Amino acid sequence: MLFDTTMMQAGMEGRLAGKMGFEGVWNDRLVDLLPFGPDDATAGSESELQVAVMGSPESVDLPLRIRDSSFYQNVARRTVAGDTSSHTLLELERYLQAGPDAVWENSWVRFPLTRLNSFARHTLERDLLADKSDPASGRRKDSADFFFAKDGEDWLRIPISYLLKLSLADLAGSGVSAEVRKLAESFLGHFLNDNTSPETFSFYPAPMNEAFEGGRGIARETSQRFLLSQLLLDHANERFGLLDHGQRAMIYFAPLPPARQKRLNEIIPDAHYRELFMNPCLSGWDRGEAKKEYMGLCHRMLSRSQLNTIAKLRESGILTNNLVVLPNTSNTCLANNGTHISLGSKRLGELMRGGDFGAADEKYLGDLVIKIVEHFLPLFVGTYSAAPMRMDFEDFHPEKALGFLPHELDYTHLRMIWRRWKKKAKLKVCGRPLTPFGPPLMDRTIARIFGLRGDFIPDFRLLDYMTTLMSTHRCAALDGEVGNDLRLKRDLAAMGVFHESMSTYLLYKQRSFEVMGFSGFEGRFYSLFDSLEEDMRPAARLQQFLSALACKLVLGGRVSRSSIPDSPEVESERRQIFFATAINLPTFFVRRDSGNALLLDLVSRASRVRGSHRYPGTLRVHVQEYRMALLDFIESEGRDVIELFGAGDLLRDLRARITDPERGAGGKLTRRILEHAGARTPLALRAQEFNMGAEEVYRGELRRSHLAEALDYLLEDCETVKNFGCLPAQFCRTGLPALLGGRDIMEFAREARTELKRTGELGGCRPVLIQLLLLVIGMHSENARLSGQKMGKKHDASVYS
């Protein structure tokens, strides 16, 4: 046992425990007071979605814009004049040449302005204001970019992220009932953007209690929000005339930047990439142009940061000569898509409102909880979400393959990961390690001669995006001091790694009461769920459980700040395990004299740990055994928390996913891709075949699976409506019969599910389905509000009695 349960609480941890009512020896009564307990937490999610437009290059906005751009015309002119190689022009033409059903990821759409009804037009005009809080501010300076004339008619061109909002506004203004219009208008602000991709966030915070079936509430809300997004896009395709003008907009979950977009990014300059793909931020912010500039800053900074990894790779000894492939000056990492799950604690919120528990207390507790939870994040990778990707031999340039890891790990762990990764990928010829030289033709020839097939990575998104900022020796990211994040960002800005105006990147991020209006944490490590019911639901429950367990370890005096020192080396040591799991490396290494007492305790519970021959003074630990040791720690140190949550089934399911990876999200997604491609293993396919096949699965089979899942939720909701008549504003009495045209609500829901299964689409039932879905979401929102009130009363009684 690492810590004595009767240890006297001292210092800041003791003062925190006293303020929160955790005084004396830990007992069963105190477990009910834990933040993030079953009756304390609410959850919300943000979904970053992939979009595309299907159509010929003569009809779709993206290829039309590229051909009309000054970049394309200048390249063509210089090529004809012989001033430059024809390579760039040929690559551009190859990208632009496509059939009538070509897929153009992240393209905008264009349609006649007259297609908008009056309310949609009003919404557009308001969103074009330079400052939405000031109606007299006039239009944005870039407003002309959204309009053009064609055949004597005014046309509008917008990203799909904004198309979703305009479609909802059009629905609200199309003669629907007052109840539906009110709900539609209230949801308009939930359709935003995330750098390149559309982003939607929860319509209501879902209680994580028994009444809402734990994590099922947030899975249901996320699923139905996706269904609504699909229905709104179908509405826009038809109502705005996209289909009539050769465009079909699509939306789906996909975790990695599209292969064709990455290919285009290699050809065009960074400024043109931003023109084509960075979101104009028409929705969600009063000053949209300022937000647009911020998005551009993020892209420029991360692109520069990627270039700066080369110097770190040289300093670490991974690059030993000048044979490097320079990363592009434009980076596609902002086109990665994930789901963020945020948890809020009602108890912490009440304490913050009470005044005795201040921002410094919240920050201290939050930073320590984050450090504890980071040790357990390998439990989520591949089990609940994944982003499978194939890499060929020629892709194994460390300056590209390692992504942002040089900024996230110290040199020791970076070298260890790179060596183990090359060994896993079997990058050897005649017993000697070999990485690609640079010229693609040469590398492909070498790979073919020596049978070098590259590797398969279960969750490449976690490498391809800067998921977390590593502390410096001067500024710690998680030392519990208010303002430490700003000090760290300033330090990193001086090194060209980050910009101080950007939001702090962390795997598990604190959501402060002062900024967010609630106190809690955001999980930012989820890539793609194969199923929201089977994967997101237990993931949300586990995130809640671990947050509560971490609070217990702190408030019960079991883990203190000194247990997990705030040095970059200690921080890197625990995070290397997370990244090793994402790559599927078999082992990692921990120093025998590590200052991280919690990590050493966890490692001591793992099987097959031995001293390393290669790295004296370190322990060689198997990733799989470490994950089982995490479960052992949870079961031994958190028995009361397991009982409080009734988490036995959750942990048994997690153990099964770890033991048999085929049962996890990574295994299920990979199986879908292989079945689609007709292959038995990922290494049986070239990288392009596997990765392009994955994209086809995401926008086809997996999209339909997610929609079917949402309809299953809706069918349950329709049964509730039929039995209890609980739609908003007593809609069941008069409005529902008129909406359904006299049909039984269960019969209608089953017909919708049958139509999706038969055709893969929801066209015939869409006009009614979209309104019914809005009403059902409104029903859940009201139930969540009432549940929150009851939870608040319970807290008042338990906290202050």
Summarize pLDDT for 284-297 with one digit per residue, the tens: 889 999 999 999 99
Tokens of 549: 């367990």
425 pLDDT exceeds 60?
Answer: yes
What local confidence, expressed as pLDDT, does residue 733 receive?
Answer: 81
Cα 495 to Cα 752: distance, rounded to the nearest angstrom: 55
Lowest mean pLDDT among 226-230, 239-243, 759-763: 759-763
Give the residue carrying structure tokens 């998104």: 461
* Stretch 106-123: mean pLDDT: 97
Tokens of 376: 């357990």
Sheet strands (E) in 10-49: 41-48
What local confidence, expressed as pLDDT, does residue 433 receive?
Answer: 86
Q: What's the maximum distance between 2 C-alpha atoms anywhere in the chain?
A: 84
What local confidence, expressed as pLDDT, does residue 798 receive?
Answer: 28
Whether residue 196 contacts residue 277, with contact meaning beta carbons closer than 8 Å, is answered with yes
Cα 341 to Cα 45: distance, rounded to the nearest angstrom: 4
Q: How many CB atoms lie within 10 A of CB 428?
A: 13
Sheet strands (E) in 377-449: 389-391, 428-429, 432-433
Which of 204, 228, 230, 250 is closest to 105 using CA atoms?
A: 250
What local confidence, expressed as pLDDT, does residue 789 receive?
Answer: 61
Over residues 157-185, the pLDDT tens digits come to 999 999 999 999 999 999 999 999 999 99
Tokens of 374: 């980071």
322 pLDDT exceeds 90?
Answer: no
Whether residue 179 contacts residue 196, with contact meaning beta carbons closer than 8 Å, is answered with no
Give percent of the chain with pLDDT exceeding 70. 97
Q: What does DSSP say about strands 206-207 and 153-158: parallel, antiparallel, or unpaired?
A: unpaired
Over residues 354-381, the pLDDT tens digits come to 888 999 999 999 999 999 999 999 999 9
Cα 656 to Cα 578: distance, rounded to the nearest angstrom: 19
Reduced 3-state DSSP string for 692-710: HHHHHHHHCHHHHHHHHHH
Cα 726 to Cα 778: distance, rounded to the nearest angstrom: 10
Cα-Cα-Cα-Cα torsion 69, 699, 255, 158, nearest 10 degrees, comes to 40
Give percent of the chain with pLDDT exceeding 90. 82
Whether residue 49 contacts residue 258, with contact meaning beta carbons closer than 8 Å, is answered with no
Tokens of 79: 């090529």
Give the residue carrying structure tokens 């300056």: 399
Task: Identify which has the larger pLDDT, 723 or 631.
Answer: 631
Band (198; pLDDT cuts 50, 70, 90): very high
Q: How many CB atoms lie within 10 A of CB 474?
A: 10
793 pLDDT exceeds 50?
Answer: no
Residues facing 112 on adjacent strands:
155
Whether residue 133 contacts residue 286, with contact meaning beta carbons closer than 8 Å, is answered with yes
**Which ranges constitute the DSSP H helices of 146-258?**
160-172, 178-187, 216-239
Cα 68 to Cα 64: distance, rounded to the nearest angstrom: 6
What local confidence, expressed as pLDDT, does residue 729 receive?
Answer: 67
Over residues 545-599, the pLDDT tens digits come to 999 999 999 999 899 999 999 999 999 999 999 999 999 999 999 999 999 999 9
Over residues 616-645, the pLDDT tens digits come to 999 999 999 999 999 999 999 999 999 999
Over residues 516-556, the pLDDT tens digits come to 999 999 999 999 999 999 999 999 999 999 999 999 999 99
What local confidence, expressed as pLDDT, does residue 801 receive?
Answer: 22
* Stretch 248-261: mean pLDDT: 97
Over residues 395-420, the pLDDT tens digits come to 999 989 999 999 999 999 999 999 99
Tokens of 624: 């799989």
Q: 419 Cβ partners below 8 Å, 6+ apart?
A: none
Lowest mean pLDDT among 59-63, 190-194, 296-300, 697-701: 190-194
Q: What is the reported pTM?
A: 0.95
Whether residue 71 contacts residue 272, with contact meaning beta carbons closer than 8 Å, is answered with yes
* Stretch 138-155: mean pLDDT: 95
Cα 641 to Cα 646: distance, rounded to the nearest angstrom: 8
Task: Identify which has the larger pLDDT, 620 or 7.
Answer: 620
Over residues 497-513, the pLDDT tens digits come to 999 999 999 999 999 99
Burial class (CB in 10 A: 0-12, 13-18, 19+), 47: buried
What local confidence, expressed as pLDDT, does residue 71 receive?
Answer: 95
Whether residue 522 contacts residue 373, with contact meaning beta carbons closer than 8 Å, is answered with no
Return the sign of the alpha-carbon dihedral for residues 437, 438, 441, 444.
positive
Cα 563 to Cα 571: distance, rounded to the nearest angstrom: 12
Which of 59, 68, 62 is closest to 100 using CA atoms?
A: 59
What local confidence, expressed as pLDDT, does residue 125 receive?
Answer: 97
Tokens of 24: 């004396």
Residues facing 250 on adjacent strands:
52
Sheet strands (E) in 297-426: 339-345, 389-391
* Cα distances (angstroms) measured from residue 30 to each of 80, 423, 568, 594: 78, 49, 34, 32
For residue 355, is it left (φ>0), alpha (ψ between -120 and 50) or beta? left
Burial class (CB in 10 A: 0-12, 13-18, 19+), 798: middle
131 pLDDT exceeds 60?
Answer: yes
Cα 328 to Cα 544: distance, rounded to the nearest angstrom: 39
Residues facing 54 on adjacent strands:
103, 248
Give the residue carrying structure tokens 């906290």: 799
Lowest mean pLDDT among 81-85, 546-550, 653-657: 81-85
| DSSP secondary structure code for residue 447 in this structure | H
Give the residue carrying structure tokens 């002309």: 144
137 pLDDT exceeds 50?
Answer: yes
